[in-house]
A and B are shown apart, each in its own frame.
Chain A
Amino acid sequence: MSWFQPKTEKPKIPPAKAIWAICPKCKSHFTKEVWKKNDSICPKCNYHGRLSARERISRIADKGSFTEIFSEISYSDHLNFHDATGDYKSKVEATIAKLGEKESVVVGTCEIGGHKAVLGVMDFSFMGGSLGTGAGERIARACELAVKENRPLVIFSASGGARMHEGILSLMQMTKTSAAIGRLKDAGLAYISVLTDPTTGGVSASYAMLGDINITEPRALIGFAGRRVIENTIKQKLPADFQSAEYLEKHGFVDKIVERKDMKAFIAKMFNFWGF
């Protein structure tokens, strides 16, 4: 007699967004499980999706070799910045509480395929991977430590650019990081820059484009100015693949597009060629 009994319990259906993942590039739908199993890479178009800094580190550093450094360095609200949606301090504190990271880049020493290195990895989920004074300081110190310990440097970038909430001093981090990279090269050390999706604005216009080699992942967005800004300026539609990894390789600004599964071996191979 159960068919006329009132339903006391609704079956628990998880919300759609908990199940489905949509590839931001080709808009194909997959279950989150498929997406995750494929290492956050679109099974259809091979777009290499974003990873957190920790996920990236676990794929690049030899197991157990990563030691984080300068983790005490965090943001600075020297402008006491407020905008229409609230104040910078609360926003960034909320991000810190959510992610457990204190800045948009995590740096440390590690081994990559047995090669001692200094590794920096940006996290796009921390304020859009923006370059604030804390992030700039971490990168500059990473460069200086690499020189001191005679290690090559690898930085994975993922950023929308400078962090405007920190005003002019965030712009100055572009100079600070670039100057420190210059010194590292003068010391005879190598710097491999990996531009992941997305790397734009002030980060692409500083350390991310300064690699002895610049490499990237399939279909990553890399550029200086935003597509809409350019379209408004030139009053023309831009090609669909504009500012893609493939487009940059064609125009000569990245050395190679490397698949995620091959990334670690590729970096180690380069270090081998160069004798690090």
Chain B
Amino acid sequence: MAKKTVKKTVAKKAPAKAKELTAWDKVKIARDAKRPHVKDFIAGVCSDFEELHGDRIVNDDKAMVAGFGTIEGFSCLILGHNKGATIEENMESNFGMVTPDGYRKAMRLAKLAERFGNPIVTFVDTPGAYPGREAEERGQAEAIAKSLEFFSGLKTPIVVVVTGEGGSGGALAIAVGDRILMMENAVYSVISPEGCAGILWRDGARAPEAAEALKITAPELLKLGAIDEIIPEPKAGAHKNPAAAIKAVKKAVVKALKELTSIETDDLVEGRYNKIRSYGNFY
């Protein structure tokens, strides 16, 4: 009997494997407007979130959400890219493309978290940093560079969750941490598949091929050592069952927070440096 059951399971699983999603399928899922947004994740992981505003220099960038909240007893700073759920919100937040003001707001509040001993949880979902005139004039490159240097050495635990689109430097600026978690259908890439296809295939329409070549899906990134853990999504994707997806994210975040908060700060920062140092350790 037992043998028969095994056979049955194998037979059932085989056709599902044949329909495995391509990298381009995942890009489309990761960008799906019905996928849970940063505010859904925040509402789902903590009930007492207080959003805080402004970089104290010039602006409050709506593309970067920042504030404090409690996740299962951990008082955390939460940061995240905000694509917005409605057209009005999309416009207000530039579809989640952060300006230097947003990165500076994130660093300002992260400095507070360090002072008061709050771990940081970030939700990553952006097409990329905002490409605009004012963004350049106010130092987009400097703001991202500073973020990388700053979060690398910050003396508090950082948990990163890539929930949708991990778009290049604009994503990376809040994706430096001690645990990099990634949702099953999220993507994370050095350049958008369209951008890469435009340059190396001389045709943006060949993005599906570029997506494949760039290796941007969670299993591939896990193999390359760029992420630490994959958070499984409900069948057919997070957009089909947001509540279950958010629950899975919360579970993974809490587990990471428990592990990281038990580590001495000096060991934590040293461990983070070693982890960063090992990216592309071929030499």
Interfacial residues, chain A to chain B (CB-CB below 8 A): 72-73, 76, 78-79, 81-85, 133-134, 136-137, 140, 162, 164-176, 178-183, 186, 200-202, 204-210, 222-226, 229-230, 233-234, 236, 238, 242-243, 251-253
With the chains together, A78 CA to B136 CA distance in Å? 33
For B151-194 the 0/1 string (1 means CB < 8 A from A) is 01100000000000000110010001000000000001111000
Extra inter-chain contacts (4) besides given A164-B214, A205-B141, A230-B136, CB under 8 Å = A79-B213, A175-B279, A202-B190, A210-B145
The closest CB in chain B to the CB of A253 belongs to B139
With the chains together, A164 CA to B213 CA distance in Å? 10
Q: Is B282 an interface residue (CB 8 A)?
A: yes
- Please judge, given known A-B contacts A172-B279, A224-B129, whether A81 and B144 are in contact too, CB under 8 Å: no
Cross-chain contact B190 with A238 (CB below 8 angstroms): no
Taking CB atoms, residues of chain B closer than 8 Å to A170 are 190, 280
The closest CB in chain A to the CB of B202 belongs to A84
Q: Is B254 an interface residue (CB 8 A)?
A: no
Most buried by A among B135, B139, B169: B169
Taking CB atoms, residues of chain B closer than 8 Å to A236 are 133
Cross-chain contact B213 with A83 (CB below 8 angstroms): yes
Could you write out 14 A-B pairs with CB less than 8 Å apart? A79-B215, A85-B200, A169-B225, A175-B152, A182-B153, A202-B168, A204-B141, A205-B129, A205-B145, A206-B144, A209-B139, A225-B132, A234-B132, A251-B137
- Please judge, given known A-B contacts A179-B152, A234-B133, A236-B133, whether A166 and B280 are in contact too, CB under 8 Å: yes
* Size of interface on B: residues with Cβ below 8 Å to A: 52
Q: Is B85 an interface residue (CB 8 A)?
A: no
Neighbour of A76 across the interface among B214, B216, B280, CB < 8 A = B280
Cross-chain contact B133 with A167 (CB below 8 angstroms): no
- Please judge, given known A-B contacts A84-B201, A182-B153, A225-B129, whether A174 and B148 are in contact too, CB under 8 Å: yes
With the chains together, A172 CA to B280 CA distance in Å? 8
The closest CB in chain B to the CB of A195 belongs to B141
Cross-chain contact A242 with B149 (CB below 8 angstroms): no
With the chains together, A136 CA to B141 CA distance in Å? 17
With the chains together, A170 CA to B131 CA distance in Å? 21
CB proximity of B158 to chain A, nearest CB, Å: 12
Neighbour of B196 across the interface among A134, A164, A200, A242, CB < 8 A = A164
With the chains together, A242 CA to B169 CA distance in Å? 21
Count of A-B contacts judged by CB separation below 8 Å: 184
CB proximity of A128 to chain B, nearest CB, Å: 10
Cross-chain contact B140 with A225 (CB below 8 angstroms): yes
CB proximity of A78 to chain B, nearest CB, Å: 7
Q: Is B146 an interface residue (CB 8 A)?
A: yes
Q: Is B199 an interface residue (CB 8 A)?
A: yes
Taking CB atoms, residues of chain A closer than 8 Å to B210 are 83
Q: Is B226 an interface residue (CB 8 A)?
A: yes
CB proximity of B169 to chain A, nearest CB, Å: 5
Most buried by B among A76, A202, A205, A208: A205
Taking CB atoms, residues of chain B closer than 8 Å to A226 are 131
With the chains together, A229 CA to B195 CA distance in Å? 10
Q: Is B51 an interface residue (CB 8 A)?
A: no
- Please judge, given known A-B contacts A82-B213, A238-B133, whether A164 and B199 are in contact too, CB under 8 Å: yes
Cross-chain contact A167 with B214 (CB below 8 angstroms): yes
The closest CB in chain B to the CB of A162 belongs to B190
CB proximity of A125 to chain B, nearest CB, Å: 18
Cross-chain contact A173 with B279 (CB below 8 angstroms): yes
Cross-chain contact B133 with A164 (CB below 8 angstroms): no
With the chains together, A81 CA to B200 CA distance in Å? 11
- Please judge, given known A-B contacts A167-B216, A175-B276, A204-B141, whether A224 and B190 are in contact too, CB under 8 Å: no
Cross-chain contact A186 with B283 (CB below 8 angstroms): no
The closest CB in chain B to the CB of A76 belongs to B282
The closest CB in chain A to the CB of B176 belongs to A175
Taking CB atoms, residues of chain B closer than 8 Å to A81 are 213
Cross-chain contact B190 with A168 (CB below 8 angstroms): yes
Taking CB atoms, residues of chain A closer than 8 Å to B144 are 174, 205-206, 224
Taking CB atoms, residues of chain A closer than 8 Å to B196 are 164
- Please judge, given known A-B contacts A178-B145, A224-B144, whether A162 and B279 are in contact too, CB under 8 Å: no
With the chains together, A209 CA to B213 CA distance in Å? 30
- 10 closest A-B pairs by beta carbon, nearest first, are A133-B280, A225-B131, A179-B152, A172-B279, A178-B148, A83-B200, A204-B141, A169-B280, A205-B144, A209-B145
The closest CB in chain A to the CB of B132 belongs to A234
Taking CB atoms, residues of chain B closer than 8 Å to A204 are 141, 145
Cross-chain contact B132 with A174 (CB below 8 angstroms): no
